[in-house]
Amino acid sequence: MRFQVSTDAKTDVVDVTDQVREAVPDGSDGTVTAFVRHTTAGVVVNEAEPRLLEDIDRFVAGLVPDEGWRHDELDGNADAHLRALLVGPDVTLPVRDGGLALGRWQSVLLVECDGPRTRTVDVVVRAD
């Protein structure tokens, strides 16, 4: 299963917990992996409090200098690749009785590093 997410800015953080949850079959136990099929976006688990999402956005934007990279000679987005490298392309979560076994404050967040774009997230469920 896969789903798409639209992002609104060069760097952006979008809560995709509901889309991942919808991919999990009723009553299943095991793990679910959410994987972004991109080299300039990633996924993480953290809190989806709106001000924190802005903080994450600002933090990710500040991780890497915007200019001065060799790949920029090709398509100008080396900074986005390097930010995504630090975010990582996937998360794996436990599944219990068809639900995501997340902590109370945990959400699955897509981190955009080269938007705005439409991103694709693959979701794979493995049963115990």
Number of chain residues interacting with Zn ion (CB under 5 A): 2
Supply the minimum distance, in Å, between the C-beta of residue 71 and Zn ion: 6
* Least spacing, CB of residue 109 vs Zn ion, in Å: 22
Q: How far apart are CA 124 and CA 119, in angstroms?
A: 17
Closest CA to 19 of 121, 128, 127, 126: 121
Contacts (CB under 5 A) with Zn ion, residues 66-95: 75, 77
Cα first-last separation, the chain: 19
Taking Cα atoms as reference points, which of 112, 92, 124 lies closest to residue 38?
Answer: 112
CB of 41 to Zn ion, least distance (A): 12
Which residue, 12 or 114, is less far from Zn ion as judged by CB?
A: 114
* Phi–psi pair at 44, nearest 5 degrees: -140, 170
> Three-state DSSP class for 7?
coil
We find the least distance from the C-beta atom of residue 36 to Zn ion, in angstroms, to be 15
Residue placing its CB nearer to Zn ion in the complex, 77 or 107: 77
By CB under 5 A, tell whether 11 contacts Zn ion: no
Write out the residues near Zn ion by the rule CB under 5 A.
75, 77
